[in-house]
Structure 1
Amino acid sequence: MLFYQLFEPQSSTYTYLIADLKTKEAAIIDPVWETVDRDLKLISELGLYLMYILETHIHADHITGASEIRKNTMARTAVSALAEIDCADILLVDGQVLELGEKRIKAISTPGHTNACMSFLFEGMLFTGDSLLIRGTGRTDFQEGSASKLYESITQKLFTLPDDIQVYPAHDYHGISSTTIALEKELNPRIGKNRSKEDFQKIMDELQLAVPKKMHIALPANNVCGKSEVVKSMIESNLLGYKFTSSMAGGR
């Protein structure tokens, strides 16, 4: 098995590259527009055959690199069917299994942060997107968010997995790269120690979080899988407010 954890600093986003070393078939999880060149270079250097581009949800804080990576590889894009977008090649349902060489990726529906959140289980590793974070959880105040649904997703699905499962979220803002199911059941201040649903909902209701800075451009871009023509139009209109690498801004 091959595993890489990659980081995009502007949005504190983790992108993950996983593969079956025997067949060299690979998948990338939550790629970011700004780091597409880095990701494609790594895939090429390792001699991998990218089969899937997996999205844990429709992101509000960064633009996906899915469309650009898809153009440059044989990979198919995959997102929850509940996202209700037309650009994805595979619309995932709860429990669906994707074959990756001789290994398997299991999609687990974990709504709450958004209605279309998916976590992915692969070889003892759980990629939780924004559903379960390290000592935290995703917010539930927009994109059909629901504290009640998120509580059920974490306690009834994720926390029922083996304690030694390694947890890899889509973000971390404190310099920690991973956790385990056991640690989050014990130490997560929002939902650990068998916290009640009522207490969790109260905590989430009282959060006072700023709107993601890129939400106004990330959501429309991600609803078309980060289609390069749409993103480049935003760049030309100076709607993004930050710079991309020259190759991305100028096209391929």
Structure 2
Amino acid sequence: MKVYLHFSPQLFANTYLIGNEITKDAVIIDPAKITEKMIHQIEQNGFNLKAVLLTHNLESPYETGLNTILKIYNPQVYAGSCFSENVIINTLRGDGTIDVAGYPVRYFAIPAHSSYSYMFQIENAVFTGTSLSAGMIGQTSNTYAERTLRNILKTKLMSLDDNLIIMPFYGPPSSVGVERKFNASIFQDFENKPF
């Protein structure tokens, strides 16, 4: 598995191109902005773009990037909901596994972050979207959702192997072990805090 990280300075967001060097299939995760460099990497490596995975359904960051990809290639799009009438979405529900680009891709629902947020695990990498960045959890709309997000991250993400690399939508990569050790916001004590 080869992972290409593309950072968009306009959106301060990460887009990931994952290429399977054996099957020559590829997947893009969170296409915030599609650059000439990314298209060049797909073409130069002879990748066949099979899928786009969306960790969250915020229309504006994806609108340009996803539309650009769909004008050039014909990938399947996987997300928690259909947020556009112009895009055919393979809707995900709950937790499960799909086969994409020659990889079994585990997906985990993160409903506390937003109704349609997901994390994806491909081999030794977990793409957390906006639910987690290095050292902090994602923003939520209220205290109840924040508590629920912490519990979901503890249950679903912190139960994974320490060596798994975390690839967030915002910020630098991390690992499950580093987040377990240093991300106090996941393990914050709510016992003495009012609702």
Between the aligned partners of 1:103 and 1:189, the Cα distance in structure 2 is 33
- Per the TM alignment, residue 36 of structure 1 is displaced from its structure 2 partner at its CA by 4.2
- What corresponds to 1:231 in structure 2? none
Q: Which has the higher strand share?
A: 2
User: Do the aligned residues in 2 keep the contact of 1:166 with 1:179 (CA within 8 Å)?
Assistant: yes
Q: 1:62 to 1:89 in 2, by over 3 A?
A: closer
- Per the TM alignment, residue 61 of structure 1 is displaced from its structure 2 partner at its CA by 6.4
Q: 1:84 to 1:171 in 2, by over 3 A?
A: same
- Per the TM alignment, residue 159 of structure 1 is displaced from its structure 2 partner at its CA by 0.8
Equivalent position SS for 1:160: coil
- What corresponds to 1:123 in structure 2? 123
Q: 1:13 to 1:84 in 2, by over 3 A?
A: closer
Between the aligned partners of 1:6 and 1:79, the Cα distance in structure 2 is 20
- What corresponds to 2:188 in structure 1? 195
**Counterparts of 1:124-143 in structure 2 under 5 Å?**
124-141=124-141
TM norm structure 1 = 0.69
Equivalent position SS for 1:185: helix
Q: 1:7 to 1:98 in 2, by over 3 A?
A: same
- What corresponds to 1:40 in structure 2? 39
Structure 1 spans left out of the alignment, 5+ residues: 206-252
Structure 2 spans left out of the alignment, 5+ residues: none
Equivalenced residue count is 192
User: Do the aligned residues in 2 keep the contact of 1:109 with 1:117 (CA within 8 Å)?
Assistant: yes
- What corresponds to 1:102 in structure 2? 102
User: Do the aligned residues in 1 keep the contact of 2:30 with 2:62 (CA within 8 Å)?
Assistant: no
Asked if 1:56 is matched to 2:55, the reply is: yes
Could you list the per-position Cα deviations for residues 46-83 of structure 1 after superposition, in whole angstroms to 9, with x for gaps in the alignment? 110001111100126634411220221121111114x6
Which residue identity does 1:24 align to in structure 2?
K
Higher relative contact order at CA 8 Å, sep ≥6: structure 1 or structure 2?
1
Q: 1:116 to 1:12 in 2, by over 3 A?
A: same
TM norm structure 2 = 0.87
Q: Which has the higher helix share?
A: 1
Question: What is the Cα-based RMSD across aligned positions, in Å?
Answer: 2.4
User: Do the aligned residues in 1 keep the contact of 2:11 with 2:32 (CA within 8 Å)?
Assistant: no
User: Do the aligned residues in 1 keep the contact of 2:13 with 2:170 (CA within 8 Å)?
Assistant: yes
Could you list the per-position Cα deviations for residues 183-237 of structure 1 after superposition, in whole angstroms to 9, with x for gaps in the alignment? 111111312xx433457x87xx9xxxxxxxxxxxxxxxxxxxxxxxxxxxxxxxx
User: Do the aligned residues in 2 keep the contact of 1:56 with 1:79 (CA within 8 Å)?
Assistant: yes
User: Do the aligned residues in 1 keep the contact of 2:110 with 2:131 (CA within 8 Å)?
Assistant: yes
| Structure 1 segments of 4+ aligned residues over 6 angstroms from their partners | none
- Per the TM alignment, residue 7 of structure 1 is displaced from its structure 2 partner at its CA by 0.4
- Per the TM alignment, residue 4 of structure 1 is displaced from its structure 2 partner at its CA by 0.8
Asked if 1:67 is matched to 2:67, the reply is: yes
Between the aligned residues of both structures, percent identity stands at: 24
**Counterparts of 1:1-252 in structure 2 under 5 Å?**
1-33=1-33, 35-59=34-58, 62-64=61-63, 65-81=65-81, 86=85, 87-141=87-141, 146-172=145-171, 177-191=172-186, 194-198=187-191
